[in-house]
């Protein structure tokens, strides 16, 4: 470690989906007690990969350098066997030489990836994403949440660090408190009190080792983000550290599993002052403690789209619709043919368009073509096109309709013709809208979504959504 320059966080960005589930609406259906507040809900067209793309876009929007490695961690991967990080890699148009790999399976993989990146010599983008599902009426459902967070880890010589990594420690132990067999949709848990006593000494050990490793006392730590899927153990540990805690977002978001450690860290960094020591304490099959010190670069370097802003940009989804989105309610689809599977060769040929949302601009006429075209609509000269990346373009609705007949995983389809600032037109589906709340002239931005799935192939492409805060 001593030979390496100071490591830390170069950039970060969080993504909270637009939708919330009011916990009271669960209780109305299940007759259980589901608590107060809301949990975040990925829309029907989102998964951990699409949320990972959105978080990464937020993290890199401020001009941070591209990563040298992309690590994606989730408990709810869209694919097994096939890598999911490559879709994020493609959507962000990273160079082919950048390795994109998954850290999937256990919730601890996410903080493990972050720890590994902090200890690695490469500038590494660590994306954690999770989509928490539980049985109806249970605490896994009501207390869970969906989110993704991207953290760009690197060295001080690669750009201003927003937070320096001071060091940390870990403790591991094998005990069966929370588990899920591959293929199962839900996790199971042991009696609460067991985990509480099992985690206690592990947190104490890791916390003491971490402080010793960096030469600090508990009193030197300004804030501790203590999180884990075991609520009782987490609360008890947080209280035992003797350090002020951070907002755990339980009331407004829920516990977002693999994404939660960096989501809470991002939320803290969104408003933290310079030169503060921040501890990240994660309880998952042991304990990971990571210590950071914020820098003067944080004020200018934090993302424009904060967690707080996204907390305020939301709409409630009815419980029945939520269940249908997660495949837990067998909802009637429109009586239309379901889409056929995406052709893998066609998708690969057009990966720049499909995943990167890159059109073509006619160098003769200046007209942007979406999708890309080899011959322009007014030019006539073949192959006089240049790339036109449009993922970050803002557009305006020219005309709009609601299609109550078309196939959709969640009808109706809201669809608009969008003209982009600086040129380019596209008829495109809208995401995260109330069908009655869209009007000609509304500004929209692009968002990476999963249109549908057929034969186990997820069809990723872009939609437009109302411009968010």
Q: Which residues bind other proteins (CB under 8 A)?
A: 335-337, 339-340, 342-343, 346-347, 349-350, 353-354, 367, 369-371, 373, 377, 398-407, 413, 415, 417, 419, 423-427, 429, 440, 451, 459-461
Q: Residue 459 Cβ, how far from other proteins at the closest point, in Å?
A: 4
* Cβ(248)–Cβ(227) below 8 Å: yes
How far apart (Å, rounded) are the C-alpha atoms in residues 144 and 34? Answer: 11
Q: Record the tokens describing residue 184, joined without a space.
A: 């199962």
Q: Residue 218 Cβ, how far from other proteins at the closest point, in Å?
A: 53
Q: Residue 40 Cβ, how far from other proteins at the closest point, in Å?
A: 27
Q: Which residue has the tokens 């096939």?
A: 82
Q: Which is nearer to other proteins, 279 or 428 (CB)?
A: 428
Cis amide bond preceding 115, omega within 30: no
- Angstrom distances, CA of residue 244 to CA of 231, 277, 278: 18, 11, 10
* Cβ(387)–Cβ(352) below 8 Å: yes
- Angstrom distances, CA of residue 430 to CA of 20, 343, 381, 444: 18, 24, 33, 9
Q: Which is nearer to other proteins, 20 or 354 (CB)?
A: 354
* Cβ(405)–Cβ(334) below 8 Å: yes
Extended strands (E) in 206-284 = 223-228, 277-283
Q: Residue 415 Cβ, how far from other proteins at the closest point, in Å?
A: 5
Q: Which is nearer to other proteins, 17 or 424 (CB)?
A: 424
Q: Which is nearer to other proteins, 239 or 371 (CB)?
A: 371
Q: Which is nearer to other proteins, 317 or 367 (CB)?
A: 367
Q: Which is nearer to other proteins, 164 or 396 (CB)?
A: 396
Q: Which is nearest to 210 in space by CA: 223, 199, 221?
A: 221
Q: Residue 315 Cβ, how far from other proteins at the closest point, in Å?
A: 22
How far apart (Å, rounded) are the C-alpha atoms in residues 243 and 224? Answer: 6
**Integer Rg of the chain from CA:** 23
Q: Which is nearer to other proteins, 282 or 370 (CB)?
A: 370
Q: Which is nearer to other proteins, 201 or 437 (CB)?
A: 437
Q: Which is nearer to other proteins, 161 or 414 (CB)?
A: 414
226-240 in b/e form (b: 16+ CB < 10 A) is: bbbbbbebbbbbbee
Q: Residue 372 Cβ, how far from other proteins at the closest point, in Å?
A: 11
How far apart (Å, rounded) are the C-alpha atoms in residues 447 and 445? Answer: 7
Q: Is 63 exposed, middle or buried (0-12, 13-18, 19+ CB in 10 A)?
A: exposed
Continuous segment of H or E residues that includes residue 126:
strand 124-131
Q: Residue 147 Cβ, how far from other proteins at the closest point, in Å?
A: 26
Q: Residue 35 Cβ, how far from other proteins at the closest point, in Å?
A: 38
Q: Which is nearest to 42 in space by CA: 231, 312, 253, 183?
A: 253
Q: Residue 43 Cβ, how far from other proteins at the closest point, in Å?
A: 18
């Amino acid at each position: 470690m001593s030979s390496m320059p100071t490591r830390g966080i170069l950039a970060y960005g969080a993504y909270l989906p637009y939708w919330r589930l009011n916990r009271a609406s669960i209780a109305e259906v299940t007759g259980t007690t589901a608590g107060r507040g809301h949990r975040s809900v990925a829309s029907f067209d989102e998964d951990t990969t699409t949320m990972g793309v959105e978080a990464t876009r937020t993290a890199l929007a401020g001009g941070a350098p591209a990563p040298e490695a992309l690590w994606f961690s989730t408990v709810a991967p869209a694919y097994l066997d096939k890598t999911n990080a490559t879709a994020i890699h493609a959507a962000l148009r990273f160079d082919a030489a950048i390795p994109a790999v998954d850290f999937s399976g256990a919730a601890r993989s996410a903080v493990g990836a972050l720890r590994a990146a902090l200890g690695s010599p490469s500038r590494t983008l660590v994306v954690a994403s999770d989509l928490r599902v539980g049985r109806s009426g249970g605490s896994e459902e009501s207390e869970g949440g969906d989110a993704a967070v991207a953290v760009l880890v690197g060295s001080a010589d690669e750009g201003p660090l927003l937070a320096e990594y001071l060091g940390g420690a870990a403790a591991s132990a094998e005990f069966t408190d929370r588990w899920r067999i591959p293929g199962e949709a839900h996790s199971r848990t042991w009696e609460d009190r067991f985990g509480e006593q099992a985690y206690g000494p592990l947190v104490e050990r890791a916390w003491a080792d971490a402080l010793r490793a960096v030469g600090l006392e508990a009193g030197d730590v300004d804030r501790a983000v203590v999180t884990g899927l075991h609520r009782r153990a987490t609360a008890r540990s947080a209280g035992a550290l003797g350090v002020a805690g951070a907002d755990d977002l339980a009331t407004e978001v829920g516990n977002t599993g693999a994404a939660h450690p960096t989501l809470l860290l991002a939320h803290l960094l969104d408003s933290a002052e310079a030169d503060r020591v921040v501890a990240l304490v994660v309880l998952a099959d042991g304990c990971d403690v990571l210590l950071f010190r914020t820098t003067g670069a944080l004020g200018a370097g934090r993302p424009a789209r904060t967690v707080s802003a996204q907390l305020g940009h939301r709409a409630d989804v009815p419980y029945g619709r939520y269940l249908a989105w997660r495949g837990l309610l067998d909802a009637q689809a429109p009586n239309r043919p379901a889409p056929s599977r995406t052709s893998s060769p066609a998708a690969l040929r057009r990966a720049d368009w499909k995943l990167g949302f890159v059109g073509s601009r006619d160098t003769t006429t200046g007209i942007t073509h979406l999708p890309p075209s080899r011959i322009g609509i007014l030019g006539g000269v073949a192959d006089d096109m240049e790339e036109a990346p449009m993922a970050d373009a803002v557009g305006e609705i020219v005309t709009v309709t609601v299609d109550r007949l078309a196939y959709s995983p969640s009808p109706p389809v809201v669809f608009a013709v969008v003209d982009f600032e600086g040129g380019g037109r596209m008829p495109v589906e809208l995401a995260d809208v109330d069908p009655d709340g869209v009007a000609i002239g509304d500004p929209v931005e692009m968002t990476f979504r999963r249109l549908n799935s057929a034969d186990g192939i997820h069809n990723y492409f872009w939609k437009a959504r109302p411009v968010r805060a």
